[in-house]
Amino acid sequence: MKKILITGGAGYIGSHTVVELIAAGYNPIIVDNLCNTSTKNIEGIEKIIGKKIKWHNIDCTNKIAMTKVFDEEGEMEGVIHFAAYKSVEESVQNPQKYYDNNIGSLEVILESMRENNVKNIIFSSSCTVYGSPDILPVTENSPFKKAESPYGETKQICEGMLKEDSCNSAALRYFNPIGSHSSALIGDRCADKPSNLVPIITEVAIGKRKKITVFGNNYNTPDGTCIRDYIHVVDLAKSHVKAMNFLITNPGKHAFNVGTGIGVSVLDAIKAFEQTNKLSINYSIGPKRDGDIEQIYANNSLVKEKLGWEAKETLHQAMISAWSWEKLK
C-alpha cells in the first residue's frame, strides 16, 4: 500500500480524506497537533474503517519533529498538506498568526520532502486566491487579484512556493465545504466558535446560538447577500484521491478548482437547511464583514476533464448530514 502523509489529517477535510484514501487502497499517516480539532475525529476514522490509524501529534512548523516523522515513516508516495488555520475573519484580526503557521508549515514540509526524496504534494488551497473576481465563474486561469484577507494571501503565497519548488504539486482550490460523513462519526471539531455559515446555522437550530447574523444584504446579487459555491466535504475528500492518482502519473505543476459550479446565496443556503430539515432558523441582517468576497463560484470543467471528478452530493444532502453531525457530535 502506498504511504501518504496527511498533515492536518484529524481535521474536518483531512479526516474525511483519510477515509477515502483508505477506501482507495492507500496507507495514510496522520500528522496533527490537534490545535483546532480533537482525537475524536481519529476515533471516528477508526470506527468507520474498522482498524487503527497511525498518527503523530506534531506541529508541522517544527522542523526537528517533522524530520523524525519522515525518518520513521521511510518511503512515501506523497504528502497531502491540510495543516493551516482557516478562518477569514480571524486572519483579519490576527494576520501574523496566519503568516507564521500557514506559510511556515509549508516551508517545513517542502524542505522535509526534498531531504527525503518525496516527490508529490497535494496542497489544500482555496478559491480566496482569486480575490474578488471580475468574471464568473472563475477558471484556473483567472488572475490572482489582491487577496481580501490574510488567509487568502497565505494561500496565494503558498501556491507561489509550490511553483518554485522541485516537487510535483497539485493545488486544489476549494470552494465552500459543508456537510459531514453519513455516519456522523467525523466532522468539523473546530476548537473555536465556527465562523463558517453552515456550522453556525446548525448551532442556531440546536439552540447553541440564538440567531445567525447575515453579514450584509446590499451586495450586487439577486437577494443582496453573498454568493458561494457549497460542496459536500465527502465529494471534496474524494477529489484528493483523484488528484494523488493523477499526480503520480502526471508529474509537474497543476491547479484545479474543486466546486460544484453552482452559486448559492447566504439566504438561499439558510432556506435550503430549513426546507430539508423541517426547521426554522432565526437570523438577522448585520453590516458587511471585512474580508468577505461578494460572490464566487467555480468553473470546474478542468477538474472534470483531467481528474474525472465531479460533485455527486446535492446541497440538500449536505444540509441533512450537517444537521446529523450537529445532533450527534
Residue 42 CB-density burial (10 A; 0-12 exposed, 13-18 middle, 19+ buried)? buried
Contacts of 24 (CB under 8 A, 6+ apart): 241, 245
Contacts of 47 (CB under 8 A, 6+ apart): 183, 185
Give the pLDDT band of residue 1 (cuts 50, 70, 90): confident
Name the percent of the chain lying above pLDDT 70: 100
pLDDT of the residue at 195: 79
Give the pLDDT band of residue 209 (cuts 50, 70, 90): very high
pLDDT of the residue at 193: 75
Give the residue, 192 or 308, on which the prediction is more confident.
Answer: 308
pLDDT of the residue at 289: 87
Give the pLDDT band of residue 303 (cuts 50, 70, 90): very high
Residue 225 and residue 142 in contact, taking contact as beta carbons nearer than 8 Å:
no
Q: Report the alpha-carbon distance of residue 133 to residue 86 in Å, rounded.
A: 20
pLDDT of the residue at 88: 87
* Three-state SS letters, 150-173: HHHHHHHHHHHHHHHCCCEEEEEE
Encode pLDDT of 79-134 as tens digits. Answer: 999 999 998 889 999 999 999 999 999 999 999 999 999 999 999 999 999 999 99
Prediction pTM value? 0.96
Q: Is the pLDDT of residue 239 over 80?
A: yes
Look-up: residue for cell 450537517? 322
Residue 264 and residue 194 in contact, taking contact as beta carbons nearer than 8 Å:
no
Encode pLDDT of 275-297 as tens digits. Answer: 999 999 999 999 998 878 899 99
Give the pLDDT band of residue 245 (cuts 50, 70, 90): very high
**Mean pLDDT, the chain, as a whole number?**
96
Please count the CA atoms within 13 angstroms of the CA of 59 that sit on its side-chain side.
11
pLDDT of the residue at 291: 78
Residue 12 bears catalytic tag: no
* Helices 197-206, 266-277: inter-axial angle, 10-degree rounding: 40
Encode pLDDT of 148-189 as tens digits. Answer: 999 999 999 999 999 999 999 999 999 999 999 999 999 999
The Cβ of residue 176 has, within 10 Å, a number of other Cβ atoms equal to 20
- Which of the following is catalytic: 12, 151, 174, 230? 151
Q: Is the pLDDT of residue 191 over 80?
A: no
Q: Domains in the chain and their CATH numbers?
A: 3-179+231-259 (3.40.50.720)
Encode pLDDT of 86-96 as tens digits. Answer: 988 899 999 99
Q: Is the pLDDT of residue 326 over 80?
A: yes
**DSSP-derived 3-state class of residue 123:** strand
Mean pLDDT of 264-271: 98
